[in-house]
Amino acid sequence: MKSRSNHLLLAFLLVTVRLAADWPQFRGPDGQGHSAEKGIPIHWAEDENITWKTAVPGQGWSSPVIAGKQVWMTSAEAEGKSLHAVCIDKTGGKLLHNVEVLTPGEAGPRHRLNGYASPTPVLDGERVYVHFGPRGTVCLDTAGGILWKNTEFDYNVIQGGASSPILHRDLLILTCDGIDNQFIAALDKRTGKVKWKQPRAHLEAAAKKRSIAKMAYSTPLVQRIDGFPQLVCSGADHVAAYDLTTGSELWWMPYNGFSIVGRPSYGNGLFYVVGSIRQDHFCVYAVRPGKGRLRDDQVVWQRSISIPHVPSPILVGRELFVVHDGGVASCVDALTGREHWRERLGGNHDASPVEIRGRIYFCNREGKTTIVAASDKFEVLAINQLKGNFKASPAIADGALFLRSDTHLYRIEKSGDQSL
């Protein structure tokens, strides 16, 4: 309908937390995958609209993050016993820094599809924060000098680290959901000292199953509710919100299952949270925040058809878009959960989609990016193919799209006088 199309156009133009210059954390400035950058192309190939393609040393699946003239990622060498922070010049693609930050005696376990450098760094313009799960967290300056390290947290993530750190004011926040210990930690971003540490609650049901039922890999989201910021983080068996000053729990909602990866989204007065209804059967819940255990009527709707394990949902106004790990994308009404469309894109998907001025970019593991209209009507705008294996989520800055493969980082932008 024309009114719905107008609503969608207004929605993406009014997304409030959009910084034109930088992409400082996993899923961008607002943590939800939105960009208002102009001029991003919808067509590219290895010989089209590639400004530069730079080899990335080591191996890693962390997504690129951008501040100023620098793009940062992490990587691992020596089978996970040499962990690095990697910096590439945003404009020219030159490798600027490849800093060995940690040398753990044991690399630790990992899933066959994961690596040793999967959590995405976070930037504040002056410092770079890299995290490698229980192997440790390191702060660097933008010249590549190490400012501090914290290796004090002990927890066992048997599939490798994946939760990305986030910043809130002077806090660096880590989610640590192992099979043995589960907690949220807030560090002083200037010193690396622990400001607070909050154990996860509500894991009694998970504990009765087996130890792995207590693990999770989600990245939290900070959102202001009634004027006060809340830290919302999905864990095993439940999602919970925490007070950012003390770490105390504000509200929570149970679900069944574990190994949750997707980052929450927020809009329309609702949090959109990926949980599960049983092992390996995932579900998205639209929940209205409150106090204590949420009531049944605060779960506005839930949907378990083609819901992803790894890629996070993306909200554009009144529409919520998801792509299942197996390549089926869906669009639902974000207020009711009613399905608008469900279509197969193909391939395997690990990257979380991004929205750029009313277009959704879905990047699959095999190097294909499918661009669709952010609409309740399914419309493919373009399909593009690159070489390599892609699991990292895209970054957008400076009129360009940045994609990381298993071997390279690409800067993709219009060349010459081209139309979108």
**Which residues, including other chains, have CB under 8 Å from residue 394's CB and lie 6 or more apart?**
63, 351, 354, 361, 363, 401, 402, 403
Ordered DSSP codes for 272-341 = EEEEEEETTEEEEEEE---SEEPPGGGEEEEE-SS--SSSPPEEETTEEEEE-TTSEEEEEETTT--EEE
Q: Which of 194, 208, 66, 76 shows the shortest CA–CA distance to 135?
A: 76
In a domain, 389, yes or no: yes
Local structure of residue 134 (DSSP, 8 states): B
pLDDT value at residue 192 = 98
pLDDT value at residue 4 = 52
In a domain, 249, yes or no: yes
In a domain, 417, yes or no: no
Q: Which of 299, 199, 298 shows the shortest CA–CA distance to 249?
A: 199
Instruction: Say if residues 200 and 184 touch (Cβ distance below 8 Å).
Output: yes
> What is the Cα Rg of the chain in Å?
20
Residue 116 CA, chain-centre distance (Å), reads: 17
How many degrees, rounded to 5, is the angle at CA 344 between CA 339 and CA 346? 150
H/E element holding 7?
helix 2-13
* Assigned token pair, 250: 């504000």
Domain extent, residue 121, equals 2-412
In a domain, 419, yes or no: no
* Number of CB atoms found within 10 A of residue 45's CB: 12
* Number of CB atoms found within 10 A of residue 329's CB: 24
* Assigned token pair, 122: 């976070």
pLDDT value at residue 16 = 37
**Which residues, including other chains, have CB under 8 Å from residue 59's CB and lie 6 or more apart?**
75, 76, 77, 115, 116, 117, 406
Ordered DSSP codes for 186-246 = EEETTT--EEEEEE----HHHHHH-GGGG---PPPEEEEETTEEEEEEEETTEEEEEETTT
Instruction: Say if residues 162 and 132 touch (Cβ distance below 8 Å).
Output: no
pLDDT value at residue 417 = 46
Q: Which of 410, 392, 330, 308 shows the shortest CA–CA distance to 113?
A: 392
pLDDT value at residue 374 = 98
Tell me the pTM. 0.93
pLDDT value at residue 213 = 82
CATH number of the domain encompassing residue 151? 2.130.10.10
In a domain, 201, yes or no: yes
β-strands 408-412, 400-404 pairing? antiparallel
Q: Which of 73, 66, 165 shows the shortest CA–CA distance to 117?
A: 73
In a domain, 88, yes or no: yes
In a domain, 266, yes or no: yes
* Assigned token pair, 348: 């395997």
200 phi/psi in degrees, rounded to 5:
-70, 145
pLDDT in tens, 349-379: 999 999 999 999 999 999 999 999 999 999 9
Number of independent structural domains in the chain: 1
* Number of CB atoms found within 10 A of residue 224's CB: 9
In a domain, 418, yes or no: no
What's the CA gap between 190 and 164, in Å, rounded? 18
Number of alpha carbons in the 13 Å side-chain half-sphere of residue 415: 11
β-strands 137-141, 146-150 pairing? antiparallel
- Please enumerate, as own/partner, the contacts of 204-209 that have beta carbons within 8 Å and a separation of 24 or more: 205/237, 205/254, 205/256, 206/236, 206/237, 206/258
Question: Which portions of the chain are predicted below pLDDT 70?
Answer: 1-20, 207, 416-420
